[in-house]
Amino acid sequence: MILVGVDPGNVTGIAVWRDPDFYDCSQHAPIDVAEVEDSTKVTAVIRRMLTGQRPSLILVERFKQNARKTHQPAAGEVTGAVRSLAEELHCRCVYQAPSPAKKLGTTELLKRLNWWTPSRDDHGNSACRHILLGMATFQPVRFARLTGI
């Protein structure tokens, strides 16, 4: 199972998790994290991170623009591009609210899993949080084994 988490925005966080039960992770960590500042390069970075493999799910933070939030056209552009990539790769694209992801994927949990990466804006860690929320939602037994929760 491969899960991709995306935190879209002016700086987009991307995380790719390969289940070590199915993939040889001796050459790299099971989680790969990146932050991309150019919205036009997000799908290329995801492809490079996937190294030709097809993900089971792409989990994207749902971003709503309204008068009370900062307008980020890049978030909409990234979301559309990632959805197109999911269709091309024949995998499901799931939109998730940011709040449950943050509540579930605490900094302490990310650090315990060795998934936390130092970052100025925390976008890569947010992408990891979306992987955890997606795993808890769609693969709860795997989530419980990974986290001990």
> 3-state DSSP call for residue 18?
strand
The reply to whether the predicted model has a pTM over 0.85 is yes
Domains of the chain: 2-147 (3.30.420.10)
Quote the CA–CA distance of 66 and 106 in Å, as a whole number.
Answer: 27
24-77 pLDDT, tens digit per residue, is: 666 667 899 999 999 899 999 999 999 889 999 999 999 766 656 566 788 889
- Give the pLDDT confidence score for residue 21 in this predicted structure: 75
Nearest to 28 by CA among 57, 53, 61, 56: 53
